């Protein structure tokens, strides 16, 4: 952004919104919005407490495990249905249904099936993330240049080599795009899981703070969560840019 001929650093618009938040908070217009400065002070006080660190650990554990399964299952499934017409016909409708389904409504079913513990939370997280990863991996494989496949075949590539040396790399830009969106969805999944299934982790903190009208605590945790999700998404965006040099010329 360029203002009065000066180039402002990225995300400087955030400063403007932060200032607005502070002003609205200072006027005492609503208890719901405490001043940003107060939220930040609370944040630094809260961040060292055992309760917060336990919540952080529980959330991170469920999140990482959920995303791990979403990637490890989602990418191969996406590549396989992209390659096989039959599997595509069988599985694609389900992927599309679950992609647009209100997954929150399924969470009670998961609780019945898998209990009230960490397992259900991880599965919820995976369910939120996996569909877009499958769909993007499939799209990545679908757009592979036919002659790359023929090239690998004509030089005698084994199916294993073709998969890991051609298909995977050719689909990588789309796969990373899918993982990036999947990770953002997984943040939703893990919090919804922690609110609905068992009140643990950040979900428990949100519940606790909002029920007791501890708004500055509430916002502090939200800021931490937002910062984490944003950093992760930016990390995958960075990986995407790393491969973008060939995305346009496949």
- Reading phi first (left if > 0) and then psi (alpha if -120 to 50, else beta), residue 79 is in alpha
Among 21, 69, 116, 169, binds other proteins (CB under 8 A): 169
Quote the least distance from Cβ 249 to other proteins, whole Å. 5
* Main-chain phi, psi angles of 114, to 5 degrees: -120, 5
Sequence-distant (6+) residues with CB within 8 A of 136 are 78, 174, 175, 177, 178, 179, 181
By beta-carbon proximity to other proteins, the closer residue of 170 and 215 is 170
Quote the least distance from Cβ 162 to other proteins, whole Å. 9
Quote the least distance from Cβ 149 to other proteins, whole Å. 9
Quote the least distance from Cβ 173 to other proteins, whole Å. 10
Stretch that binds other proteins, among 57-65, 164-172, 197-205, 224-232 (CB under 8 A): 164-172
Asked if 21 and 12 touch (Cβ cutoff 8 Å), the reply is: no
d(CA 157, CA 150): 10
Asked if 200 and 194 touch (Cβ cutoff 8 Å), the reply is: yes
d(CA 29, CA 33): 8
156 part of the interface to other proteins, by CB under 8 A: yes
Among 28, 113, 161, 234, binds other proteins (CB under 8 A): 161
* Contact footprint for other proteins (CB under 8 A): 145, 147-148, 150-158, 161, 165-166, 169, 172, 243, 245-246, 248-250
């Amino acid at each position: 952004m360029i203002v009065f001929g000066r180039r402002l650093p990225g995300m400087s618009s955030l400063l403007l919104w932060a200032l607005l938040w502070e002003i609205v908070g200072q006027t005492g217009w609503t208890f719901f919005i405490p001043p940003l400065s107060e939220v930040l002070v609370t944040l630094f006080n809260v961040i060292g407490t055992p309760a917060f660190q336990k919540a952080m650990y529980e959330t991170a554990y469920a999140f990482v495990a959920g995303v791990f399964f979403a990637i490890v299952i989602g990418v191969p499934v996406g590549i396989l249905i992209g390659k096989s017409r039959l599997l595509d016909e069988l599985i694609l409708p389900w992927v599309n249904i679950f992609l647009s389904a209100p997954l929150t409504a399924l969470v009670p079913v998961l609780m019945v099936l898998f209990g009230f513990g960490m397992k259900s939370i991880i599965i919820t997280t995976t369910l939120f993330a996996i569909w877009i990863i499958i769909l993007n991996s499939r799209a990545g494989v679908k757009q592979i240049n036919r002659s790359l496949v023929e090239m690998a075949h004509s030089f005698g590539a084994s199916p294993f080599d073709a998969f890991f040396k051609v298909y995977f790399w050719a689909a990588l830009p789309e796969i990373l795009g899918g993982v990036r969106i999947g990770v953002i969805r997984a943040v939703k999944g893990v919090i919804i899981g922690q609110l609905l299934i068992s009140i643990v982790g950040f979900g428990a903190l949100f519940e606790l703070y909002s029920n007791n009208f501890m708004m500055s605590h509430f916002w502090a945790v939200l800021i931490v969560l937002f910062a984490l999700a944003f950093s992760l998404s930016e990390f995958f965006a960075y990986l995407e840019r790393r491969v973008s040099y060939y995305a346009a010329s496949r």
